[in-house]
Amino acid sequence: MAYSNRKINKTISIILGIIAALLVAAAVIVAVKHYWPQKEDYSEFKNKPNVVEKLAENPINFDALKAQNEDVCAWIKFDSEDIAIDYPIVRAGIDKKEDYYLRRDLEGKYFTGGTTYIQKMNSTEFVDPCTVVYGHNMRNLTMFGTLKYLRDKESFDRNKYFYIYTPGHILKYAIKSAFVYDDRHLMYAFDFSSEAGFSAFADEASDPKSLVKNVRDDVEIKSDSKLVVLSTCTNIDDERYLVVGVLTEDTKTK
C-alpha cells in the first residue's frame, strides 16, 4: 500500500513539474515577444515606386514643324490606298485672319490648295465636343480631294478610321458617316456646348437627310463623344461634303 502511494506521489510530482515547465516556457516567450525589438511594418505610409509609363513614338516631328511654322497644331492621316490624306493641320495665329490658310501654304505663300486647317473657335488639342477640319476638294486629288471616294459604299466600308496626331497624342477616329450637307457653318449652326445642340448634330450625322450618304451603324455617338468633322466643298456652291469621325482611342506619345 505504501508503495502505491509513493508511485502516485511520484506521478503527481512529474505532472506538476511538466506543468511548471510549460508555464515557465510560456512566460519566457511572452517576455521575449514583449522586450525583444520587433521589425515594424510601415509600408502603408510609403509612396509606391514610380512606374515609368512606356509611351508610344509619335510619327510626326512637331518640333521641326513648329520651327517652320508655329501655327501647326496637328497632322491628319488615313491608312488607306484610296483616301490619300496625309497632311499637317494649322490654326491661324492671333495676328492672322481666321481663314488665313485657305489659299496659303505652310510658308504663308499663295497656294491654290491651301493648307488643311481648323478655326480659332476650336482647341488645337482636339478636346472640343466637335472640331471641324477644312480642306479643299482639289481636282488633282490632293488635300481633301479623295474624300469623295467615300461616296462609294465599297470604299466607305474599307475605310473605317482616320488618325489625328498632336504633340503628345495619337487620336484614332472611327468614321460614323460621310454625306452631302448644305454650306452652313457647323460651329454656328449647332451649339456643341449644350446637350441639345450636340444631340441635334449627332442625329444629323447618324441619319443624314441627304440622298448621298453612307452611315456605319456599329459606330455610336454618345453624349460625351469627341467628334472631328472633315469638311470639303463639292462641285455645287451651296454644298459641303462631311465626314464625321468619333474618337475611339487616345494614345499618349513621347
Q: Does position 52 have pLDDT exceeding 80, yes or no?
A: no
Number of Cα atoms under 13 Å in the Cβ half of residue 48: 3
Give the mean model confidence (pLDDT) for residues 127-147. Answer: 97
Residue-by-residue DSSP string for 105-149: -TTS-B-TT---EE-TTS-TTS-SSEEEEE--B-TTS-BTTTGGG
Q: What is the pLDDT of residue 161?
A: 98
Q: Does position 130 have pLDDT exceeding 90, yes or no?
A: yes
Distance CA 11, CA 4 (A): 11
**Greater pLDDT, 176 or 1:** 176
- pTM as predicted: 0.80
Q: What is the pLDDT of residues 66-81, one digit of tens each?
A: 999 999 999 999 988 8
Q: What is the pLDDT of residue 54?
A: 84
Burial of 48 (0-12, 13-18, 19+ CB in 10 A): exposed
Distance CA 33, CA 26 (A): 11
Provide the pairing of β-strand 227-233 with 130-134. Answer: parallel
Q: Judge: domain 62-252, CATH 1.20.1370.20.
A: no
pLDDT band at 248 (very low <50, low <70, confident <90, very high): very high
Cα separations in angstroms, 239 against 35, 139, 185, 232: 88, 16, 11, 9
* 168 residue type, one letter: G
Q: Does position 3 have pLDDT exceeding 70, yes or no?
A: no
Q: What is the pLDDT of residue 230?
A: 98
Share of the chain above pLDDT 70, in %: 80
Q: What is the pLDDT of residue 28?
A: 60
Give the mean model confidence (pLDDT) for residues 131-160. Answer: 97
